[in-house]
Structure 1
């Protein structure tokens, strides 16, 4: 039994709901003679921030896992061959399909989380005790390790964030590249300013990336009680990046299914000096793998407040809004169907 093209096209649409670095959506799909190809689209690269394309491939890995979840929901088993042709390094996966009589994977129950998941850059309340224990095993399915970083190493992570910021602060090419993916209004790609903290909003999270000013009103000195989960791999090759992207997607969707808020972070691992500190923190927290790839903030969405505190300690009454979802490129831009 093979899946029809309409079902596969719809699965690709849901796959493209996956998170990607700065919402660049660097995936290109081709459906031909019952096989679906996934390639990384280098035209959507961010060469200053991500010269090796590591974050692009991680993003494509997340889309590949989203595809798996959607197919399982439709009782279709994906048969995935990763990096099938050494002569085509941008061909990340070829997927074929066979039908199932019933769902065989726990991922089939995650379909509802595809639409609900958001990357939330606001501060979180701490996750409930014990809520993170089961998340690690969802990463291990894809050969990655997930570990909660001990809060006692917060000062070390703050130092890593400082080093990462110093690496970029005087580099106009970096800021121009970042600004090119910030949108004044929601569009098909990029990050809308409505999803980014405004210039006066500084919350106490050592893991937060500095962005050009947005429109989210948070306040000054607001404490972030999110837990930090780090995904690491044995080696640091494109197959590791693709697999850790799948692990990231699995963890995010399982967290969403458990009513936890999440936000992936990659900037502390994109600069070698800060990545080395993250590696040290991971080792001290019990991690044995030596290649930190993605950090994920996990916690409870904080109840909305109608006031923020500015740097001078004054309270300002505001109408707070929750960030919505980011846009997605039309299916016809990312999927080619040929006979």
Structure 2
């Protein structure tokens, strides 16, 4: 492939979501292959000391590249963690033969540009069961299980663990400092979470059963989350999105990358179906609450991602969607002449 072809593919890959929009990836391209590297300069040492969540983010970017190639009529072979002695080399994508471009390939590639994280409340309508079934099957094809959180006792346990983790984070000055360092007030910022994408008001007072991450927690008084249904909360309308937990049998870098690739497919299929999503990962940030989730939900394997999904509410007329920006592709892509 020529440099302009790889530039298009990597541009699509970098549209992947990443924890705090850190964009923790670097790419090296040669005519027949694309290397994915973890960028150690963009670490989150407090929130993600093992780099698990950033590796998942990189796996999502890798799958976005596969989807972009499929839409251009190329098959791709992916090798994960090809050189264990090189901890920053996460995967290699090799160009295969030409393939027919299916309608699904075109639809998923088109969804890359439209997909964005929505933390605001969703419309009060359910996600079709058949779509959730499709997402389960798609995740399974990438070695990742997907579990809808539908039973009341599972929902109660998960909501409790999320709120407990959020309280732990709000009480940790190092976490709050790191979080604030990735919050962006400049709409032209090329990384981080734009303040305009953070819903107004205190998430703890929101009419929802699910507590989103509070990106400005350090600027208001901390207090416990009261889930919708609390008689003292009395929310006018309860947001009940589809919430799904994704996980893997193993809990190592190849498993994290596989879950990232599965996450990419889940997000793009959901986007194509008119849904939006946002992560609920607080309980997975901390080993204690992550372990308790495994136990409370009787999970076989390790939880890697918790998502809320639903239909977006119409934006006010004339109000553009606030989408996290990306670094220029030339900042993350390097070319070399040989496979090396």
TM-score normalised by L of structure 1: 0.86
Match among 2, 8, 11 for residue 10 of structure 1 = 8
Q: Is the partner of 1:132 in helix, strand or coil?
A: helix
Match among 183, 187, 190 for residue 188 of structure 1 = 190
Residue in 1 aligned with 2:200?
A: 198
Q: Is the partner of 2:109 in helix, strand or coil?
A: helix
The 1:70/1:162 distance shift into structure 2, 3 A limit, reads same
Match among 216, 225, 244 for residue 229 of structure 1 = 244
2: CA distance, partners of 1:161 / 1:115: 30
Q: Is the partner of 2:306 in helix, strand or coil?
A: strand
Residue in 2 aligned with 1:300?
A: 311
The 1:174/1:108 distance shift into structure 2, 3 A limit, reads same
Q: 1:170 Cα shift? A: 2.1
1:273 aligns with 2:285: no
Match among 49, 52, 66 for residue 50 of structure 2 = 52
> 17-26 vs 130-139, which deviates more?
130-139
Q: What do the CA deviations read for 1:306-338 (whole angstroms, capped 9, x no partner)?
A: xxxxxxxxxxxxx89464211000011100112
Q: 1:281 Cα shift? A: 5.0
2: CA distance, partners of 1:69 / 1:188: 23
The 1:246/1:105 distance shift into structure 2, 3 A limit, reads farther
1:138 aligns with 2:114: no
Residue in 2 aligned with 1:148?
A: 148
The 1:261/1:101 distance shift into structure 2, 3 A limit, reads closer
Counterpart contact for 1:28–1:334, Cα < 8 Å: yes
- Structure 2 segments unaligned to the other structure (5+ residues): 219-233
Q: Is the partner of 1:133 in helix, strand or coil?
A: helix
The 1:208/1:277 distance shift into structure 2, 3 A limit, reads farther
Match among 240, 244, 256 for residue 259 of structure 2 = 244
1: CA distance, partners of 2:126 / 2:143: 25
2: CA distance, partners of 1:322 / 1:334: 27
Match among 301, 308, 314 for residue 290 of structure 1 = 301
Q: 1:156 Cα shift? A: 1.5
Residue in 2 aligned with 1:98?
A: 96
Q: 1:106 Cα shift? A: 4.4
1: CA distance, partners of 2:290 / 2:211: 12
Counterpart contact for 1:157–1:207, Cα < 8 Å: no
Residue in 1 aligned with 2:17?
A: 19
- Structure 1 segments unaligned to the other structure (5+ residues): 215-219, 306-318
Counterpart contact for 1:226–1:298, Cα < 8 Å: yes
> 233-242 vs 106-115, which deviates more?
106-115
Q: 1:277 Cα shift? A: 3.7
Residue in 2 aligned with 1:82?
A: 80
Q: Is the partner of 1:232 in helix, strand or coil?
A: strand
Residue in 1 aligned with 2:112?
A: 114
> 105-114 vs 11-20, which deviates more?
105-114
Counterpart contact for 1:14–1:70, Cα < 8 Å: yes
1: CA distance, partners of 2:148 / 2:296: 10
Q: What do the CA deviations read for 1:14-38 (whole angstroms, capped 9, x no partner)?
A: 1000000010000000113532110
Residue in 2 aligned with 1:41?
A: 39
Residue in 1 aligned with 2:222?
A: none
2: CA distance, partners of 1:6 / 1:101: 20
TM-score normalised by L of structure 2: 0.86
Q: What do the CA deviations read for 1:215-256 (whole angstroms, capped 9, x no partner)?
A: xxxxx9453211101101001001100110011110000001
Q: 1:199 Cα shift? A: 3.4
